[in-house]
């Protein structure tokens, strides 16, 4: 098994938690939100080095997550609870992207 799969664990945990809870208006907060926002952005930058056919999708995720860092740092997501269901769907779709990326390492 590839040791790089361990880098996926925080991503799977965060996205599963958020996909389940965002639709109810619950979002990560505090230092955890800031740390995971930075981790996600760094993770997708690292994922570009995997040289998979998913590179265009990974670039899209890089841009989304670099734009999302300020949202987590300012707490903006919690002010937009009305979008919880849409955010939950995005997080669930991101789980599928992560699974596809992880499949290239297995």
Q: pLDDT by residue (tens digit) across 44-71? A: 999 999 989 999 999 999 999 988 888 7
The percent of residues above 70 in pLDDT, for the chain, comes to: 96
DSSP SS3 for 87: helix
Q: What is the pLDDT of residue 1?
A: 66
Question: Quick check: 101 and 58 in contact, CB under 8 A?
Answer: yes
Helix runs in 2-83, H state only: 8-21, 30-47, 55-74, 76-79
How far is it, in rounded angstroms, from Cα 96 to Cα 90?
10
Q: pLDDT by residue (tens digit) across 9-19? A: 999 999 999 99
pLDDT tier at 42, thresholds 50, 70, 90: very high
* Token pair 């990326």 in the structure block, residue: 101
The percent of residues above 90 in pLDDT, for the chain, comes to: 55
The pLDDT of 79-105, averaged and rounded, is 89
How far is it, in rounded angstroms, from Cα 26 to Cα 96?
21
pTM for the structure as a whole: 0.86
């Amino acid at each position: 098994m590839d040791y790089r799969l361990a880098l996926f664990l925080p991503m799977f945990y965060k996205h599963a938690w958020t996909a389940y809870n965002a639709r109810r208006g619950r979002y990560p907060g505090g230092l955890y939100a800031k740390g995971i926002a930075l981790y996600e952005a760094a993770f997708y930058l690292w994922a570009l080095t995997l040289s998979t056919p998913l590179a265009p999708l990974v670039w899209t995720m890089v841009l989304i997550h670099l734009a999302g860092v300020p949202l987590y740092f300012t707490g903006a997501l919690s002010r937009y609870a009305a979008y919880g269901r849409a955010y939950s769907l995005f997080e669930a779709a991101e789980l599928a992207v992560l699974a596809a990326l992880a499949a290239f390492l297995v």
